[in-house]
Amino acid sequence: MLDQPEETHGDGVAPELKDREVLLSVNNIEVIYNHVILVLKGVSLAVPKGGITALLGGNGAGKTTTLKAISNLLKSERGEVTKGSILYRGERVQHLSPSDLVERGVIQVMEGRHCFEHLTVEENLLTGSYTRKDRAAIADDLDLVYSYFPRLKERRKSQAGYTSGGEQQMCAIGRALMSRPETILLDEPSMGLAPQLVEEIFGIVKSLNENEGVSFLLAEQNTNVALRFAHYGYILESGRVVMDGPAKALRENADVKEFYLGMSDEGRKSFRDVRSYRRRKRWLA
Amino acid sequence: MPDQLLFAMEVSLNGLMTGIMYALVALGFVLIYKASGIFNYSQGVMALFAAMTLVGIQEGRVPFSHLINSIFGTHITEFGFEVPALLAILLTVAVMIAFALFVQKFVFRHLVGQEPIILFMATIGLAYFLEGVSDLMWGSEIRQLDVGLPQGINGAIDNATFEALGYGFFIDNLDISAAIIAAILVAVLIAFAQYTKQGRAMRAVADDHQAALSVGISLNYVWILVWSLAGIVALVAGVMWGSKSGVQFSLSLIALKALPVLMLGGFTSIPGAIIGGLIIGMGEALFEFVVSSNDLFGAWFGFTFSATENWFAYVLALAFLVFRPQGLFGERIIERV
């Protein structure tokens, strides 16, 4: 089985974050949609405080489902966690509503931005503070968000539906920040954005992580960018974690290069080879 | 001809007043549709239920008295006291909020994420259920509703127009109070939606359920809120129509008159519901006035129509569906390419 990637597993934490507290731990969860469709078949992962943890994999690998299982947006899509446990700061959070989780500091930024189109950018940001009671601090946080995303300040009075894709992504991240989160579950921030904007957004994610101490669990198809900014990575394939390790190690791994970065020892591979490779792999898997 | 013009003015004014009554019903539809995407077929029945509850409480009648009497062989019908109008209204508001809780808990909570058509069917079921409950609770007799709103022709307008134009306009006091109440109601609703946290949450839910959930807005809470608001709007509509034509089961059919109003004004716009109502009300009154008049329409075509009020609004709505499906003020569908 030459083309089957070797399963290798790390110890769940990047070397530089070794002594950090683990905020979120997902233990062997199984997710079923509509009572029949098994999507996750035993996913485990850990998110340390102050780290950026990447969840990688192709379409349908289960990245979004994992995030939604954590934030509990699954329920509104008729999905449920049938096995395993999800702990946040040691507390089981499977039965909490999304708003309970937001109050505990876990918020999801959904794939495809999902801004409130007919609300202005500023109103969008303010909806992020829905669960908070401390009115005075909300105004300060609005300024903080604007300092990270000056573009949003320029457009604060325009309807979010009429802003550009990059601005909408910023709006969605800013909205999440308004809840004063401890952990942001960020789903596919690069989707549909120009490479330059992707760099800009990831740069902001990095500085939020470093300056504000926000932890990120990041689902991303763009393996290259994600591994450059993350501390630790998990690679999902058809609902299972097939490999995990510190981002640096993953970047160097031959299989990851082959399957996800489109590189091999001989340099860049032609697309035709990659495709046949992937197809045969499915057969064997 | 000035005579005709004066008549036309009076007819238009009265049409505007009727239009406001339509708008009151349409408003309830807009609230629920905007926040949950549910087209609430039962809005008309909610108005009926609210009006019947109000009358029942005011007259101090025992709810479900028929049922109780036939089970226990008793003969209770009334408590023997009358409740003042204001208190009765407050109690009815409480009943409408309880109804909103009931609807959310037993119906729509279980249908989250279902197709719009399924939600629509559920509201049809709800409409018949509520009609049955109203009957069981308060009986099916026609009742007079009087919450102390002024009745009859407004003398001041009659005198003023008579002195100025030599022809007194007959405008019903009830219509004038309906217009004032509707204006206040709309102003309050808009202020609530635009400037409060809950209002913002309501609009957020209207835009994107999933995203609203993700920032921690409880859909359940927002939906209870809008159903309560819709219940209160239904109460206002029920009071107005009930004071005008008595509280009876045909009251629920005013919902059908709200449909063309919605198509004209747009399903998602609160001001749209009001302006749509005004256009329909005035349009149908003027149209009827012109085509049934021997001097105008008859003089040119040699024949006249009558009872056009039954269909005019629907034809107008049809024309709107063809040329401007989102209505005059409906939310533009934002489509980024």
- Which domains are delineated in chain A? 1-105+215-285 (3.40.50.300)
Q: Report yes or no on B337 lying in a domain.
A: no
3 state DSSP class of B280: helix
pLDDT exceeds cutoff 80 at A274: no
pLDDT of amino acid A81: 93
C-alpha A38/C-alpha B254 separation (Å) is 49
Q: Report yes or no on B281 lying in a domain.
A: yes
Q: Read off the CATH number of the domain in which B117 is found.
A: 1.10.3470
pLDDT of amino acid A5: 56
Reported as a single tens digit per residue, the pLDDT across B72-110 is 888 888 888 888 999 999 999 999 999 999 999 999 888
Chain A residues whose C-beta sits inside 8 Å of any chain B C-beta: 71, 73, 76-78, 97-99, 101-103, 107-110, 114-119, 123, 126-128, 130-131, 159, 161-162, 165, 175-176, 179
Give percent of chain A with pLDDT exceeding 70. Answer: 90
pLDDT of amino acid A272: 57
Taking an 8 Å cut-off on Cβ atoms, the answer to whether A130 and B197 are in contact is yes
Taking an 8 Å cut-off on Cβ atoms, the answer to whether B208 and A117 are in contact is yes
Q: Average pLDDT of B267-279?
A: 88
pLDDT interval class at A273 (50, 70, 90) = low
Reported as a single tens digit per residue, the pLDDT across B124-165 is 999 999 999 999 999 888 888 888 888 888 888 888 888 888
| A212/chain B closest Cα distance in angstroms | 19
Total structural domains within chain B: 1
Nearest to A64 by CA among A37, A40, A38, A91: A40
Give percent of chain B with pLDDT exceeding 70. Answer: 98
3 state DSSP class of A76: helix
Please name the residue of chain B whose CA is at the shortest distance from the CA of residue A124. Answer: B204
3 state DSSP class of B3: helix
| B193/chain A closest Cα distance in angstroms | 11
Q: Report yes or no on B261 lying in a domain.
A: yes
Taking an 8 Å cut-off on Cβ atoms, the answer to whether B218 and A99 are in contact is yes
Reported as a single tens digit per residue, the pLDDT across A232-249 is 999 999 899 989 999 999
Domain extent at residue B272: 2-323
Residues 6+ apart with CB under 8 A from A21: A48, A49
Reported as a single tens digit per residue, the pLDDT across B324-337 is 887 887 766 666 55
Q: Report yes or no on B155 lying in a domain.
A: yes
pLDDT of amino acid A283: 43
Residue that the structure tokens 């070797």 belong to:
A6
Q: Report yes or no on B330 lying in a domain.
A: no
Taking an 8 Å cut-off on Cβ atoms, the answer to whether A162 and B212 are in contact is no
Reported as a single tens digit per residue, the pLDDT across B177-205 is 888 998 899 899 989 988 999 999 999 98
pLDDT of amino acid A282: 47
Taking an 8 Å cut-off on Cβ atoms, the answer to whether A127 and B201 are in contact is yes
Q: Report yes or no on B329 lying in a domain.
A: no
Asked if B65 and B76 count as a contact pair (C-beta separation under 8 A), the reply is: yes
Largest CA distance in chain A: 61
Taking an 8 Å cut-off on Cβ atoms, the answer to whether B204 and A127 are in contact is yes
Q: Report yes or no on B117 lying in a domain.
A: yes
Q: Report yes or no on B328 lying in a domain.
A: no
Q: Average pLDDT of B259-278?
A: 88
